[in-house]
Amino acid sequence: MSTGAGNSVTLVRNATLFVTIGETTFLIDPLFASPGALPPIENTPNDRSNPLVPMPDVELAYDAVVVTHRHPDHFDDAAKEELDADVPLFCQPAETDAFVEEGFTDVRPVEETESFGGVTIHRTPARHGHGELAEAMGPVSGFVFEADETLYLAGDTVWYEGVERTLDRFEPDTVVLNGGEAQFTHGKPITMGVEDVSAVRDATDATVVVVHMEAINHCLLTREELRSKTENVHVPEDGETVSL
C-alpha cells in the first residue's frame, strides 16, 4: 500500500508524517483528531484547544505505523479508532503493553533493531526537554530508517549528545526534526528551537526537514521565524512532500 512517491517525507500535520523509503511507506505518529477536539496542553503560554489546524487533504496510504511515543499529539483516540487492528505497529518497548491492551495485534517493539519491507529500523535515544522536566515527560525515542538511503527521525528531543552520537553513527542522508520549541510556563523548551536546529544543521551534511510546528498550543516557534533564522533547512507546510 505504498504511496509510490520514491524516497520522500510528507508532512501531514504536527509530527504526523509519511516516510517512504524504497517501496515501503511508514505512517509516523498519527494525530487524526478534528480541530479543537483535544484539550489544550496545560501550563503553557496559551490555552487554545488542539489541534489548531485541520488535516490536509492527503491519501492515508501506508504499510506500517511507527509511534515515537504515546503523548496525545503523537497518538490520539481518533488514530486508535482509524487504524486497522492488525497493522504492523512499531513502538518503543515501554509502550508495547498499552497498544496490545487497545487491541492492536501486530505490535512490534523496537529494542534496538527490526526489519520491515526491506528497511532496517533502529531505535535511537531522545531527550524530551532538559533536566527534571525531561524525566517527567517519560520515555521518548527516535528512529533511523536504513535502506538505499538512511533517514533519521529524531522524535521529540532537544539537541544533546544522544542526537550528536546518532548523527555520527548513521551518517544519515536525511534528518527530520520536531521543531516548534514546545514550552511550558516553567523550564526550558522540550522540542527543538532555532539553536537546536542550527546545531543539527552544523553537525551534518544531510537534508534537514523540520516538522511539529503550528499545530499544538504549546509549540510557539513559527515556520516563518525558523525559516528566517536558519539556512538550508526545509520547513514544509501541512500536506507538503519533500522528495529525497
**In percent, how much of the chain has pLDDT > 70?**
98
Q: What is the mean pLDDT of residues 18-29?
A: 97
Among 130-134, 147-151, 233-237, whose mean pLDDT is lowest?
130-134
The answer to whether position 179 is within a domain reads yes
The answer to whether position 242 is within a domain reads no
Is the pLDDT at 163 greater than 80, yes or no?
yes
151 closest CA partner among 179, 190, 182, 124: 124
pLDDT at position 107 is 98
The answer to whether position 3 is within a domain reads no
Looking at mean pLDDT, say which of 2-6, 135-139, 174-178 comes out highest: 174-178
Question: Mean pLDDT for the chain?
Answer: 95
Which CATH number characterizes residue 99's domain? Answer: 3.60.15.10
pLDDT at position 56 is 97
The answer to whether position 219 is within a domain reads yes
Q: Which domain holds residue 49?
A: 8-236
Number of domains in the chain: 1
The pairs formed by 131-134 with CB atoms below 8 angstroms and a separation of 24 or more are 131/187, 131/188, 133/184, 133/187, 133/188, 133/190, 134/158, 134/190
The answer to whether position 2 is within a domain reads no
Q: What is the mean pLDDT of residues 87-114?
A: 98
DSSP 235: -
Is the entire prediction scored with pTM above 0.85? Answer: yes
Is the pLDDT at 4 greater than 50, yes or no?
no
Q: What are phi and psi of 121, to 5 degrees?
A: -110, 120
**For residues 141 and 129, is the Cβ–Cβ distance under 8 A?**
no
The answer to whether position 24 is within a domain reads yes
Per-residue pLDDT tens digits for 46-73: 899 999 999 999 999 999 999 999 999 9
The answer to whether position 241 is within a domain reads no
Going by pLDDT thresholds of 50, 70 and 90, the confidence category of residue 131 is confident
The answer to whether position 1 is within a domain reads no
Going by pLDDT thresholds of 50, 70 and 90, the confidence category of residue 153 is very high
pLDDT at position 134 is 84
